[in-house]
Amino acid sequence: MQFHFSDEQEQFRMMVRRFFERQCPTSATRKLMDDELGYEPAVWRRMSSELGLAGVALPEQFGGGAFGAVEEAIVAEECGRSLAASPLFASSVLAARCIHKVASSADCERLLPALARGDRTAALALSEPNAEPSLSGITCTLTVDQDARLSGRKHAVIDGANADVIVVVARLAGSTGDAGITLVEVDPGATGVTVSVQQPLDPTRKLAAIEFRDVQARVLGEPGEAASGLRRALNQALIALSSEMVGGASRLFEDTLEYTKLRMQFGRTIASFQAIKHRMSELLLSVELAKSAAYFAAEACAADDPDLNYYASLAKAAASDAYMLAATEAVQLHGGIGFTWDADVHLWFKRAKSSEVLLGDASWHRERMILNLPAEVSARRAGQAE
Amino acid sequence: MTQESSASLSDIAAQAGAWLDGNWDPELGLVEWRNKLVDSGWGMPEWPAQWYGRDFGAAEVRTVEQEFARRGVVGVARAGIRLLAAATLLEHGSEEQKQQFLRRILTGEDTWCQLFSEPGSGSDLAGSTTRAERDGDHWSVNGQKVWTTSAQHAHWGLLVARTDWEVPKHKGLSYFIIDMKQNGIDVQPLKQMNGHASFNQVFLTNALVRSEHLVGAVGDGWKVAMTTLSHERRRADGVRSGYADIGLQVEKSGRIFDEERDELATVMEPYSWYPQRAGRVDLAAPRAIESGRIEEPAVRQELARLLTMSASAEWTARRARAAQRLGKAQGPEGSLGKLAASHVARQASRVHTLIAGSDALFAGPQSVEDGIIAEILLSTPAVSIAGGTDEIQRNIIAERVLGMPKEARVDGGPFRDVPRNPTN
């Protein structure tokens, strides 16, 4: 573990940050909130071709940019900071990586290069209504005879209404638990697929419900064998999401700090009140601790740490709580203006709320930590430790 | 690391190793051996060459420490506040003071205590009302100090006292070295809410300070005290990693080790509850599992919260150290450790209570973990007070890290006119 970024990584961060500052100001984000597609295709093309970000989660072999887990975390953090709208999370971080970790190399060859170039986008249909965000809770059913047929309902599929290809997490008929989990590819235009746009609480993340009625599907990888590959992919997505969240939390913190130094009441800036100073110090602590957890998880991922389930969940739990704290404090410390539509605070507030719930909330991940306690945490140490 | 510097580090390792191989003998007396260390410059290589050191930087010092650890060699005395005293004297002391005190600090012959806090001035150190007045070729000191560790053993005290009441509070203080073994000083143990008495109250009644034991100039007390406190903070933040671990593997028998053990037992006795004060996070998951309480949803949630907080705090501290090591600008992460420790301790106390259930009703050796759990529950409140309260930490973070405006001062005029606590 390095516990710091290299000079090259810092330069990369600044390049990405400057790009987003120029291309994705909140005025643009606000326009895209009402847009069905939800992102600017021209900006996505530049993100893909100039910065290579669409291939962020993929190896060079499949057209990726040979970024490491730490670089991916940097990109995600800067996305969260700027609220840049793009298919990056849904298509590259979630769907493309799940394909990569599960599908045969022939299928990877067929699907991934176009995703890595940003020419096509994919969506991952994972979450189901009334189900916890674990693979064992999956009910969408696949029957495999001469061909594979998929039935079931998914919801909250990010960018699900606009993707060129949908990859669905399903289970073989009659299976339970991890056994039987299968990843399939579905053409959104296929017979039996009904895609309906869902109004999102966070208008910067487009969501769709998708119903499959005996739909022809193409199995990626071995039928029933996808669980461990998906878990690896989802751990990495969790870490990227946590990084995105600490980026957003940092931005909220900085904007709020600046506002308290400008806002005058009772003849002084509100930053001069101890009640405000103490809250800002506590908020800084929460945000910095969550940042450290996200950074550590990214490094643990890069090092292929055997306890990644634990560290990914720790990062997501910390990021969920810190981001929501930053969001509620930001609204509160902005006062009345913070509750208005015109102020930008609510853009991040809504992103904090959707991120809090996405891929499992803080309580769910704390439970997952306990199910995956590393040996050095669960065993007594020799001698007395402080 | 460049070729050149690693080559010179291996030279240093060879030199230190050769000296140790030629001189180290576990049958020597502790003071006898430490005098050799002091004369050789290998005992405290980070100090100036003129004063028993070698002007070494951090990397060189680590190299020397490894040579000591590899052989299980006893080093100079470090425990207690002796090195804070030494750092203060190296920066502000007169030649005579350095001559008189530095060697005996390192040999362990003299023990020190710190007379800063008072019943009426805790967070507000500059509000000290202990007075020092000139009396011929002495200073005469009257007042009361508190939270003084090891005052009952100490030979010398670092004393901050007021010498001028007509100027603003920070300008009227002076810094002294006071002989603790005299009639004008009465040391009484101060019993804490957890039953330990790790600290003392020190009553000074016409206690005498020799005029050559003023450190710095009259009125420089605040500045000199800041040097002491900055070293205290650095020591609290820093780690001497790897040293003790390696040493443990070496068989430690011989006269010198017996003497060292006696010394440490005395010096460390007040600190026996400090691991419990920090919350004993290491015990939380093992106890939850062994007791079966891990099956309780509330225990699982609160335990995971604790583990998240504690690990994130540790990683934040390591980010700060990495930045420091690389000479990068210090980010906010460096100022957060103290505040994070308070949160961790409080959450640990909550988790230990949840796990213990009704066992948390009991204390003492017959209770769970030989009373360790009870000691955690009654010791963690100290973390958010000792060494700077959480409230002061939040002010420091807000003002120095976040650049928020300082509090308006109402204590700026002559100290005589500043409202303060009644004294008896």
Across the interface, of B285, B321, B404, the residue whose CB is closest to A277 is B404
Confidence (pLDDT) at B248: 44
CATH classification of A228-378 is 1.20.140.10, yes or no?
Answer: yes
Give Dmax over CA atoms of chain A in angstroms: 78
- Give B34→chain A minimum CA distance, Å: 28
Across the interface, of B278, B323, B340, the residue whose CB is closest to A285 is B340
- Give A284→chain B minimum CA distance, Å: 8
pLDDT in tens, chain B (424 residues): 334 456 589 999 999 999 999 999 999 999 999 999 999 999 999 999 999 999 999 899 999 999 999 999 999 999 889 999 999 999 999 999 999 999 999 999 999 999 999 999 989 999 999 999 999 999 999 999 999 999 999 999 999 999 999 999 999 999 999 999 999 999 999 999 999 999 999 999 999 999 999 999 999 999 999 999 888 877 665 433 333 333 444 567 889 998 988 888 888 888 889 999 999 999 999 999 999 999 999 999 999 999 999 999 999 999 998 888 888 777 777 679 999 999 999 999 999 999 999 999 999 999 999 999 999 999 999 999 998 899 999 999 999 999 999 988 889 999 999 999 887 5
Class of CATH domain B110-236 = mainly beta
Confidence (pLDDT) at B22: 96
Hey, where are the domains in chain A? 7-117, 122-224, 228-378
Interface test with B, best of A7, A269, A283, A284 (most B CBs within 10 A): A284
Across the interface, of A295, A314, A385, the residue whose CB is closest to B308 is A314
Interface contact flag, A277 B399, Cβ < 8 Å: yes
Across the interface, of B283, B304, B319, the residue whose CB is closest to A369 is B304
Residue A303 backbone zone (phi > 0: left; psi -120 to 50: alpha; other: beta): alpha
- Which residue of chain A is at minimal alpha-carbon distance from B278? A386
Q: Which two tokens stand for residue B385?
A: 């007070």
Position of tokens 């030989």?
A: B370
State the count of interchain CB pairs (< 8 A) between A and B.
133
Interface contact flag, A318 B315, Cβ < 8 Å: no
ipTM over 0.90: yes
User: What CATH number labels A122-224?
Assistant: 2.40.110.10
Backbone φ and ψ of A91, nearest 5°: -85, -50
Interface contact flag, A367 B301, Cβ < 8 Å: yes
Confidence (pLDDT) at B6: 60
Give residue-wise pLDDT tens across range A148-207: 999 999 999 999 999 999 999 999 999 999 999 999 999 999 999 999 999 999 999 999
Residue of A143, A74, A91 whose CA lies nearest to A294: A74
Across the interface, of B301, B307, B312, the residue whose CB is closest to A289 is B312
Chain B environment of A272 (Cβ under 8 Å): 404-405, 407-408
Low-confidence ranges of chain A (pLDDT < 70): 383-386
Angle, alpha carbons B319-A256-A280 (nearest 5°): 55
Confidence (pLDDT) at A57: 85
High-pLDDT (> 70) share of chain A, %: 99
Interface contact flag, A377 B307, Cβ < 8 Å: yes
Hey, where are the domains in chain B? 3-76+239-270, 110-236, 273-387
Q: Which two tokens stand for residue B417?
A: 């006119």
Interface test with B, best of A259, A277, A278 (most B CBs within 10 A): A277
CA distance B397 to A277: 8
User: What CATH number labels A7-117?
Assistant: 1.10.540.10
Inter-residue long-range contacts of A226-230, CB under 8 Å, 24+ positions, other chains counted: A226/A102, A226/A169, A226/A181, A226/A182, A226/A183, A227/A135, A227/A178, A227/A179, A227/A181, A228/A178, A229/A98, A229/A101, A229/A102, A229/A183, A230/A98, A230/A101, A230/A102, A230/A135, A230/A169, A230/A181, A230/A183
Q: Which residues pair with B161 in a beta bridge?
A: B174
Across the interface, of B282, B304, B328, the residue whose CB is closest to A381 is B282
Residue of B54, B86, B70 whose CA lies nearest to B17: B70
Amino acid at B127: G
- Which residue of chain A is at minimal alpha-carbon distance from B275? A386
Confidence (pLDDT) at B251: 63
- Give B354→chain A minimum CA distance, Å: 16
Chain B environment of A289 (Cβ under 8 Å): 309, 312-313, 316, 336, 340
